[in-house]
Amino acid sequence: MVTRRVDLRSDTVTKPTETMRAAMAAAEVDDDVLGNDPTAFRLEKEMAAIAGKEAALFVPSGTMGNLISVLVHCDIRGSEVILGDNSHIHIYENGGIATIGGVHPRPVKNNPDGTMDIDSIVSAIRDPKGELVYPTTRLICLENTHGNTGGRVLSVEYTDKVGEIAKKHGLKLHIDGARIFNAAVALGVPVSRLVQAADSVSVCLSKGLGAPVGTVIVGSESFIKKARRLRKTLGGGMRQVGVLCAAAFVAVQENVGKLEADHKNAKFLADGLHKIKGLFVDVASVETNIIFIDIEEGSKMTAEKLCKNLEEHGIVVMKESSSRIRIVLHHQISYDDVKFTLSCFQNALNGVSVENGN
């Protein structure tokens, strides 16, 4: 019988802490659609300050944060956005920027480190002289950390460079910063410096920071004014939302400081997994809280089977492909859980059953 469960599917699986639950219960609230919820206002003010931007807006999810941001920047019909071909917006958001916003995506290849080559970005910008046939480039999107390449971190220098290009061509820069705090902690720089070049950032509070719900988008006063209207259009205006913002505020206060430990745990786990015969992990590429584990080519073990075996030991992970598994660390996974996970991987690969107790 499984007596212990370690849930490594994602950093979205955290449960609200007692402090968050207490803050939710005590939250002072009012109607936020009417612009009167003091707890939402306090969180938005804090997030704008952290990001070094004029204003902020709480939205239900990262997907809505990105959609609203792209739509605000691309509010003229025929707009095009340059974004990574392996980015969350391009792959996992139901193509909402196109289907809902009518914005044309111009994907550029993502490198294994999450960047897009600067030259490729520049050459993807449409020549305005070809306006008879081309859409109009209006926006560049980056993702930091970059999830699909394993939580890779984009540097300040790279972000500034893309910002420079955007400015030079009269474009806006949006950052999908679902895990921007992880990136800032890994780089040892304030979030405000890391996103200085961006016109808008979407920051998830319900990932590594552990809030139960919510994302905040940040930008200029005029950007947020338009974003507020679009949030209502999309059905994301919520009334006594302070109940959620109270928990998110605790997440920002208490959990940013825990991200470094998550990154250390991820590195330790990656290193241990790589040493297990039959598995491969590119340990050097583990920069934050995400690990990709590849099963050795030619092995009889499949990702599906390994996931099932692991689940029998109480370890829950996500299958990425037939030979790849993804693990994400968060503040509710301890060093002890990591050591337990390593021993379970070993057993699950060797087909040792839980009943044997070894």
Report the interface residues with ligand PLP, using CB under 6 A: 61-63, 66, 88, 143, 147, 176, 178, 204, 215
Q: Give the nearer residue to ligand PLP in terms of CB position, either 316 or 354.
A: 316
Residue 205 CA to residue 301 CA, distance in Å, equals 36
Q: Give the nearer residue to ligand PLP in terms of CB position, either 98 or 354.
A: 98
Q: How far is CA 268 from CA 7, 53, 329, in A?
A: 17, 36, 11
Residue 208 CA to residue 62 CA, distance in Å, equals 13
Q: How far is the CB of 321 from ligand PLP (least distance, A)?
A: 17
Q: Give the nearer residue to ligand PLP in terms of CB position, either 104 or 326.
A: 326
Q: How far is the CB of 142 from ligand PLP (least distance, A)?
A: 11
Chain centroid to Cα 354, Å, comes to 34
What values do phi and psi take at 346, rounded to 5?
A: -60, -45
Which one-letter amino acid corresponds to residue 348?
A
Q: Which residues pair with 189 in a beta bridge?
A: none
Q: Give the nearer residue to ligand PLP in terms of CB position, either 180 or 338.
A: 180
* Cβ atoms within 10 Å, residue 110: 21
* Cβ atoms within 10 Å, residue 222: 11
Q: Are 244 and 213 in contact (CB under 8 A)?
A: yes
Q: Are 335 and 269 in contact (CB under 8 A)?
A: no
Q: Which of 88, 42, 45 is nearest to 65 (CA)?
A: 88
Q: Give the nearer residue to ligand PLP in terms of CB position, either 96 or 314.
A: 96
Q: How far is the CB of 126 from ligand PLP (least distance, A)?
A: 25
Q: Give the nearer residue to ligand PLP in terms of CB position, either 154 or 295.
A: 154
Q: How far is the CB of 125 from ligand PLP (least distance, A)?
A: 24
Return the SS3 of 62: helix
Q: How far is the CB of 284 from ligand PLP (least distance, A)?
A: 21
Q: How far is the CB of 2 from ligand PLP (least distance, A)?
A: 27
